[in-house]
Structure 1
Amino acid sequence: MGSPLEFSLRQRWWFLLAGLGVALVGGFAFQRLPIDAYPDIAAQSVWVVTTYPGRAPEEIERRVTIPIEIAMRGVPRVETVRSQTIFGLSLVQLIFEEGTETYWARQRVQERLTGVELPDGASADLAPVTSPCGEILRYELTSDGTIDLMERRTLNEWAVIPRLLRVPGVADVSNFGGLAKQYAVTVQPTRLTQYNVTVADMVEAIQANNAAAGGSVLKRGSMSLVIRGAGLLESAEQLGNIFVKSVGGTPIYLRDVAEVGPAPMARSSIYSKDRADESVEGIVLLRRGENPSQVLAGVRQAIDELNETELPAGVRIRPFYDRQHLVDSTLHTVAHSVSLGIVLVVLVLLLFLGRPSMATLIAVTIPFSLLFALVLMWLTDIPIGLLSIGAIDFGIIVDGAVIVGENIARRLGEATRCARERGPGPVEVPRVVLAAVREVQRPVVSSMLMVVAGYLPILALTSIEGLLFRPMAQTMVYALLGGLIFALFLVPALATVLFRTGYHESSGRLAAALQTAYARSLRWLIAHRWPAVITVAAILALVGGRVLPRLGTEFLPYLDEGPIWVKANFPEGTSLQQTAEFGKIIRQVALEFPEVRFASAQVGRTEAWTEPFPPSRIEMMIGLAPPSTWRRFPNKAQLVEALARRLREEFPTTRFVFTQPIIDMVTQDTNGTSANLGVQFSGPDSGVLLSLARRTLSLLATVPGARDVNIEQEGPQPQLIIQPDRRLCARFGVRIEDVSRLIDVALGGAPVGTLYDGERRFDIVVKLDPGSVASPQAIGRLMLANAQGQPVPLAQVARIEIADGQTIITRENGRRILTARCDIVDRDSGSFVAEAQRRFEREIRPSLPEGYRVEWMGMFENLERATRHFSLVIPATVALIFVMLWITFASLRSAILVLISIPLACVGGILALYVRHMPMSTSTGVGLAALFGISIMNGVLMVRRITEMRESGLPLDEAIVQGALQRLRAIMIAAIVAIFGLLPASLATGLGSDVQRPLATVIVWGLFSSTLLTLFVVPVLYRVLQPKLRIPASRASS
């Protein structure tokens, strides 16, 4: 049957039809693939959320958090267990190994959770299947003034959120702000005394008069009637008419001793936007793994339906943050860079190949390889995004087709000229094309395999950096495979169709002049080879010894998401209302900047699952106008700096953090801190941890480059502690349960029943009028009933005092933790952390108490992990490439000679980073790893052709010059199209270009230096390293 290449030429129409089929399947895959700006880099985790209303953090930690942590010990594939305990809420996070299936992990956790004995009133559940990257839309529920905050929140919870949850792909929708509706029985203690009624009497009466019953079925002739007792409360009037007790023959009703009616729940959150008063916000969360663009389209459609048909007049849903903007902006950046790169590639092909037909033939590699990659991306669940399709260098993809096409053009052009000189007679196009492809088939395949090998360090990345960059490497490998298939099978087939009568090469003056100048320069360098070698060695030593150490290091470049995310922590114990007033001032300051489009502030925490924030905390999203409209600030960093300076002038003692929403939530979830650097202390005593953290803060604040230095967790806050005295309780006949129930119900407003209003349900609470319990003394005067029914003041059986308690308790792997954190500006992370660690070891480590541990974490931790990975995997990859070269050439010297291309390529990449003031990062490391395989390709072509010329019998110097000249055009075309393919990405400044730019800079300028040095240095080194060659006798005789 012959070789696959011969078969493809004989059956070329079938192969071309197969190529068309691949393109059609690629178009189908494009429509099915999810599209997102960045990959989901959050860890695979499961959250156990337990609400325990009215309980302090210390009690919840003891009775809820620790039992759940103990139950989760031994869950398979769990790497870390973290927990956060705050007033009324416990969050336990289990972080699983990468690759763990989501629902398998949730099932393991649910199995353990069912065995946990929780106290009465505590309710545990698993958080929705989303991720920190899952926040895709925020909206405000506005009113023209006719609908109050309570009714707006009720509409949000009972009309808007249920409709949005029906959108496929929505995991959850959480409410923030507004007044939650309940039915309150608000009691004046004087009335209780007047009618001799206790809170316990009222609770018992409500529960006894709010019940339904079922009486089976009553048969009546041929009919059956369902018997049902309808005694559930359905209105405030029914609630107020409940009989409590009889005093002196007079019935006492709830309405006699209390105010009964709708009232707001105790608030945990306040939301405001721009200069308006309070409002209601909704946050839409994406189910993990769903297509955000499709889900957002469904959400927007649902919002339009709600606005048009379901919401009352004057109430509207107004989205103000839509992740589609980030997706669209990022894809616009990608599309602009890719399309411009493709245009430049085609222009270069036209310039060097002369004939549009051959340039077009080779350029078809680009859409084919892209569609081929989309098919494999669809099969392996890789979404379209900035670091998948956006990181493809189509110039590199066409390199194989360039080499094959250029050799076909050269050989077919020679055959056409010979045929014309011989006289009439057709050119045997298939035979010439087959011979031309065979001539370069082996170096093309081996070179492409080495390019793929260069991506192995990226494919082996783990954790955040793996989730971020592996899709890029996989997509690039897929596209390289598609480009190789096209080059070996479809380019020859198309050439036989397009050039049936031969090929007429255009020999332009530019090409001739270029070859003449190159030959002259090469002969001069060969004659002066030792000074040239010494010069190159000196450049390598200078770059490696002086330039590289000055670059600095960081984990990732700044990922611009668009909005600014501001976090402000006011003194512990600051009330929700006071914090909201501070938030109003912050919003006004932000809106002073014309670059700001909106400012929305969240105070406290929502009742949703992952926000253990106290009332003294503000989180603010600041939306920005398009950068093209800015006048005062050339970039976002300077705008953030000016805003930070202005806010710190207004609130000099407040701890501010300036970041972005997605990266803040992802790093907090994955690393335990959203800061560039965190110093985490663990141990048994919170006081000791706080002391260590404060000392570390003082140290970090004096290290140059530190900003936003503070403690990650909030400090102690005042608590009113009611401690029953068991001896006094026994003396007065009062049970501890009676004291606890008074605190739960009368002071805490714990629900005692449910009122049904159609499909809606609202809690019924019995609580004392806030004005009557405004001080510890007033609380002490509250009455309890002893076993004989006699009133006993609470102060007689309990100690009431104010003391500091924990605001939030954080734990990791069974130990309490506290983290000192800081961000790093105007300095690379690596040098900052190194200096901070040296000073810590000298000043704080010696006094670290026994039983306490310290761990350095944050973005720095990711940098260290990526550095360790590259230091192990890159040498292994270079060794693999060396073995492949040795096998390809069957010569140790030739393999070493080609391997020199790697440091030669690194020179240009490192110098470009230095000139552009870019530090070494995971992104640049990925670019260097990709550069290794790419830079090898040209060296393989050059060395193989020179060796073939020597084996043909030419003298050494002439063989070097002629071999280099014959590969000049192919190498230049391959290198220039590869450079131009990523040049737009290396210069891009749009949203989403931050990760691309360092990666593309390394590859573009690394290829530039590699090409120059391959064309001039590799031939010279060949002359130095290969002075003798044993020519096989068979070739010599021929």
Structure 2
Amino acid sequence: MIRAIIDLALRNRLLILLLVLLVTLGGVMAYQRMPKDIYPDLNAPLVNIITTCPGMASEDVERLITFPLESLMNGSPGVIRVRSESTTGESVVTVEFDWGIDIYQARQIVSGKLDIVAEQLPDSASDPVLGPVSSRMGEVFEFAVVGQGADPMELRSVADWTIRYRLLGVEGVSFVVNLGGFVRQYQVLLKPEMLHHYGISIADVKDAIEQSNRNFSGGVIRKQNQEFLIKGLGRIESLAHIENTVITARDGVPVFVKDVAQVREGAMFSTGNAGFNGQEAVSVVVQKQYGGDTLKTIENVKQFLKQIAKDIPEPIHTVPYYDQSGLITSSLRHVELSMLEAGGLVLLVILIFLVNLRASLIASLTIPFSILFALVLMYAGNVALTVMALGGLAIGIGKMAGGSVIMVENIFKFLESDTSGASPLELTARGAKEVGSYLFSANLIIVLVFLPLLTLEGIAGRMFRPTVYALVAALIGSLVMNITLQPVLMSFCFRRRSGKRRRHWFVEFATWVYVGILKLSFRLRWLVLAAAVALMVIGADRYQQLGNEFVPALDENAMIVSTAMLPETSLHESVRVGKKVEEILLSFPEVVSVCRTTGMAEESEHVHPVNHSHNMVELVPREQRQRGYEELTEAMRLELERIPGLVHMFEQPISNKLAEMLTGTEGQIAIKVFGPDLQVLDQKTREIGAVMSRLEGIADLHVEQTTGIPQILIQLDRAALGRHGIKVQEVADLIETALNGVAVTDVLETDRLTPVFLRLPEKYRQDVETIRGLLVDTPAGHRIPLTQLATIDRSEGPQTIFRESLMRRKTIVCNVVGRDVGRFVKDAEAEIARKVELPTGYLVDFGGEFESQQRTMQQLMWTMLVVALGVLVVLFASLGSLRQSLLLLLNVPMTAAGGILALYWTEQTLNVSSVIGFIALFGIALQNGVVLVGKINDLRRGGMPLHEAVIEGSTYRFRPILMTELVLILGVLPLALGTTTGSEIHRPLAVVYIGGFVAAIFFEQIVLPILYELFARIKKDRFAPA
């Protein structure tokens, strides 16, 4: 088949050139249209169920709302885990589905069950709603709404109604979350003495306002040839309308709302605050649509902000502080530049070996055309252009170049040395056909090696499937170009035979040196084999010392500094300390801006108590910084540790979002303690925290504190209620409305909705004594203080209750500095097992980034085993000898040792990137061994003695093997040496490649010939001459 394709291409040379031109245009168009991002779409199929019940204590939220929802969702089709957060007035249940389930199918499954549980929830609870079709990984752009001296309420109104309301309509935007400022509302502050004077209850006021805010219709009347629509206007439109709403009449005199309450414009009770560079602000977080194009979405948002600037009143304006587009652009540019640099180095190597500029250019041209071909296939397969996908193309550069060199060199050899008198076109065809089948088999081996990676599940599959797809597409493109374009170009550029063979001085000298080393190695064979064994032993030893992590940390030119105070800390105090943290962070010259958010947004699906703050720190570009990320964070830690009672954690934004999405926790390591009793959980987490604090490398240790929140407990006396004929519901309604307040209705204004809020003034809500004096109406018309119906005392309770897999959970989170995560976790597990005794029914589990790392690395190890078995099958099919197949498999530990030592010497870790490098390394490195052994077998079949066949075969294959290895090394060298943003992801892979192929040169050129001869002498094989 390959021979037929080559003949067809040479018969239709102009058509081939036109098709290549078409592919080129298609590749350019695909590049322009493909979505671009840092990582592939890592949005896990998560569905958040949000239920609010204002003022309800966290224990009641857990028992009455969260638990019924959890129980219903657990065990649903495709559900792998259910976790939840219950805090004052809100329940968030997160249902995690298997990665293979479509997000919309997952939402349909959850939505279908909500109707079942809705009737079981308290009347005061809202209907459960599903969170947006996005996750924290979709938070791609953030900006602050600020204005020097601007009123916080005006800031929030602009952010809500001028910006957010319209921003939701921008293409690519899924959800927008505002936090900070004050939400405007109309407040009806009741006067208890006037209510008593008129004999009016709080419920009467509430009903009167609700019933006085509606438009209505009288239908249609017809008169002659016209119809008139009857429209009634009765909606509240101003404060005066509320004040003049009639509640009832006493002795024929109407009683208005203004007679029993103060009506004013005020601020909604706030659960969050934001600041930007020390001034009051509203933080706006933009989430892209599920599977959307990040760059396009961000560009659309930026254009929107430019257009809307004229509608924002002075001095209010917007300031972006987190923009993923810059990170994406710089990361992609790094990989693209590395690919160009690799192409230049490859061209130089080819030119040195071929000593012909035209042939070298033809061999090099295949690389860009193959990449363009791959882009077309990627676009057709809906593969986004991410750093991971470009990494696949970069990995393939060496292999693409290697195939091109083999094809061009073989054709060139035929053109130089043929004496048969055949035409150059015929010689081109002969040369192409001789190696065409080999190139097909070689690429097939690589494809087979990478195919098991497509079976990876979870986040590993999402992350590395594009790498495999891009590499396979590039190899297919390379093969197509090798057997079509290259023969055509060679036939055009070499229309005449050269008549003489050129002297390749460098190659001849290198070959002469190699033959001398090879012969010396045969004389010192046992020393050489001992050196090979020593290399593998050292590699195995260094493997034990390698660090472990999930993916290399990506310097995003930004960081998230999370801080927390004691659980009982008020929002006001948290904001005061938060501003101090802002000042400290801004004092560092590497910091451009700091946006602080304290507490949680009203419409957020993430529970953050008021004692928690998150500081998004924008840094100057990496190239302009005096200090690296770790050095800078260490300096910041020292400053923040001076603030008493403050705990802190430093993370990169994407790492933070990824960890929180996958496991519901922050930090590299999350130690989860499960059990039924909150007090025991609190005690055990403190004990574990004390053990962790003494471990080497610990940083940003945060022991979750959710208990000890001050409460005022109202315990109703049922006997007293019975004596007065009062129902529990009546007291509950009174307390909820009077103390917590209730949104009665909304005022529909020109472009916004303003809620009308009903409650008692602040002076009636200040302490226990004022609450005890709250008057309750009796059926007999009397009013008695609440203290006669209930016991009212101070108490303590949990702030937030976390659950996972139907069990209560508390967490200790931390980062690791100066050590690898894997070894740290091993030490932590041993110390906790030795020093902390857990009661029956309690258990400890490690999560966070480490959880994802363990799951992924386990999958990759199984994948490597499958790859090894697959390679063995391919080798046996190629050589027909199990002994020689096993001999070639010795290349695996040798190249692995080289990769491990390279990781060790360059202080890289064993992570997903480096393991992918090992898998690719094994498949590619074995090809040259197959070619070498195959040549020796051919010589022996021709009657050549064993030793001479080994020397002759090794010498004959020296140039193509060396050239291929050098091309492969140089193809990834720019990735290994890169220092710009994004280089961290591919550096471990490139380092493995370089170290592995250097070891492969030693094995294939020196060790393999010696082992071949030893194996052949031990037992006669079928390749020996008869």
* TM-score interval (norm. to shorter): over 0.9
Distance 2:729 2:501 in 1: 99
Q: Which runs of 5+ in 1 are unaligned?
A: 420-425
Say whether residues 1:384 and 2:374 are aligned partners.
Answer: no
Say whether residues 1:138 and 2:124 are aligned partners.
Answer: no
Aligned twin of 2:511: 515
Distance 1:713 1:612 in 2: 14
TM-superposed deviation, 1:375: 1.8
Distance 2:901 2:174 in 1: 47
Determine if contact 1:42/1:670 at 8 Å carries over to the other structure. no
Of residues 172, 177, 180 in structure 2, which corresponds to 1:177?
180
Of residues 628, 636, 656 in structure 2, which corresponds to 1:643?
636
Aligned twin of 2:32: 31
Distance 1:395 1:877 in 2: 21
Change (3 A) 1:866 1:375: same
Distance 2:894 2:21 in 1: 40
Give runs of aligned pairs for residues 474-623 of structure 1, distance below 5 A.
Answer: 474-503=469-498, 506-544=502-540, 546-623=541-618
Of residues 281, 288, 291 in structure 2, which corresponds to 1:289?
291
Determine if contact 1:142/1:279 at 8 Å carries over to the other structure. yes
Aligned twin of 2:398: 395
Letter in 2 for 1:108: I
> SS of the counterpart of 1:656?
strand
TM-superposed deviation, 1:263: 0.8
Distance 1:486 1:260 in 2: 79
Distance 2:459 2:1020 in 1: 50
Of residues 991, 1004, 1008 in structure 2, which corresponds to 1:1014?
1004
> SS of the counterpart of 1:885?
helix
> SS of the counterpart of 1:990?
coil
- The answer to which of 874-883 and 952-961 deviates more is 952-961
Give runs of aligned pairs for residues 18-57 of structure 1, distance below 5 A.
Answer: 18-57=19-58
Distance 2:407 2:882 in 1: 27
Change (3 A) 1:886 1:713: farther
Letter in 1 for 2:1005: L
Distance 2:946 2:210 in 1: 104
Deviations 1:969-999 (A, max 9, x none): 2112211111111111111121112121111
Distance 1:199 1:496 in 2: 95
Determine if contact 1:451/1:932 at 8 Å carries over to the other structure. no
Distance 1:790 1:781 in 2: 14
Aligned twin of 1:163: 166
Give runs of aligned pairs for residues 774-789 of structure 1, distance below 5 A.
Answer: 774-789=766-781
TM-superposed deviation, 1:555: 2.5
> SS of the counterpart of 2:137?
coil
Distance 1:1032 1:1008 in 2: 30
Distance 2:641 2:704 in 1: 18
Distance 2:483 2:1008 in 1: 27
TM-superposed deviation, 1:778: 0.7
Determine if contact 1:177/1:271 at 8 Å carries over to the other structure. yes
Determine if contact 2:707/2:796 at 8 Å carries over to the other structure. no
Distance 1:323 1:288 in 2: 16
Say whether residues 1:833 and 2:825 are aligned partners.
Answer: yes
> SS of the counterpart of 1:703?
coil
Of residues 670, 674, 679 in structure 1, which corresponds to 2:662?
670
Deviations 1:795-849 (A, max 9, x none): 11122122111211111222222222222221122222222222222333xx422
Determine if contact 1:181/1:265 at 8 Å carries over to the other structure. yes
TM-superposed deviation, 1:619: 0.8
Of residues 654, 674, 677 in structure 2, which corresponds to 1:685?
677
Aligned twin of 1:912: 902
Determine if contact 2:43/2:290 at 8 Å carries over to the other structure. no
TM-superposed deviation, 1:770: 0.8
Say whether residues 1:263 and 2:256 are aligned partners.
Answer: no
Distance 1:573 1:86 in 2: 13
Change (3 A) 1:461 1:642: same
Aligned twin of 2:247: 244
TM-superposed deviation, 1:195: 4.7
Of residues 874, 884, 887 in structure 1, which corresponds to 2:877?
887
Deviations 1:837-868 (A, max 9, x none): 22222333xx4222333322222223332333
Distance 1:676 1:576 in 2: 28
Deviations 1:490-518 (A, max 9, x none): 22232222212125654232222112111
Determine if contact 2:623/2:980 at 8 Å carries over to the other structure. no
Aligned twin of 1:710: 702
Distance 1:502 1:796 in 2: 113
Deviations 1:263-316 (A, max 9, x none): 11000111001122x2112111001101011111111111111013x2234332
- The answer to which of 640-649 and 811-820 deviates more is 811-820
Distance 2:273 2:881 in 1: 74
Aligned twin of 2:867: 877
Aligned twin of 1:423: none
Q: Which runs of 5+ in 2 are unaligned?
A: none
Change (3 A) 1:854 1:907: closer
TM-superposed deviation, 1:1015: 1.8
Identity %: 32
> SS of the counterpart of 1:436?
helix
> SS of the counterpart of 1:649?
coil
Aligned twin of 1:254: 257
Distance 1:561 1:377 in 2: 26
Determine if contact 2:321/2:595 at 8 Å carries over to the other structure. no
Distance 2:470 2:717 in 1: 69
Give runs of aligned pairs for residues 305-316 of structure 1, distance below 5 A.
Answer: 305-308=307-310, 310-316=311-317
Give runs of aligned pairs for residues 182-261 of structure 1, distance below 5 A.
Answer: 182-247=185-250, 250-261=253-264
Distance 1:921 1:1032 in 2: 43
Query: What is the TM-score normalised by the length of structure 1?
Result: 0.95
- The answer to which of 260-269 and 653-662 deviates more is 653-662
Aligned twin of 2:995: 1005
Aligned twin of 2:847: 857
Determine if contact 2:622/2:980 at 8 Å carries over to the other structure. no
Of residues 958, 966, 972 in structure 2, which corresponds to 1:982?
972
Of residues 459, 462, 468 in structure 1, which corresponds to 2:463?
468
Letter in 2 for 1:742: L
Distance 2:501 2:494 in 1: 12
> SS of the counterpart of 2:484?
helix
Letter in 1 for 2:482: A
Paired residues, number: 1018
Change (3 A) 1:9 1:302: same
TM-superposed deviation, 1:1031: 7.9
Say whether residues 1:943 and 2:933 are aligned partners.
Answer: yes
Deviations 1:183-218 (A, max 9, x none): 101234344445544323322321232233222212
Determine if contact 1:924/1:999 at 8 Å carries over to the other structure. yes
Aligned twin of 2:301: 299
TM-superposed deviation, 1:170: 0.5
Give runs of aligned pairs for residues 767-778 of structure 1, distance below 5 A.
Answer: 767-778=759-770
Aligned twin of 1:731: 723
Say whether residues 1:969 and 2:959 are aligned partners.
Answer: yes
Letter in 1 for 2:285: I
Distance 2:848 2:746 in 1: 46
TM-superposed deviation, 1:457: 4.7
> SS of the counterpart of 2:233?
strand
TM-superposed deviation, 1:659: 0.7
Deviations 1:671-693 (A, max 9, x none): 23223222222232222222222
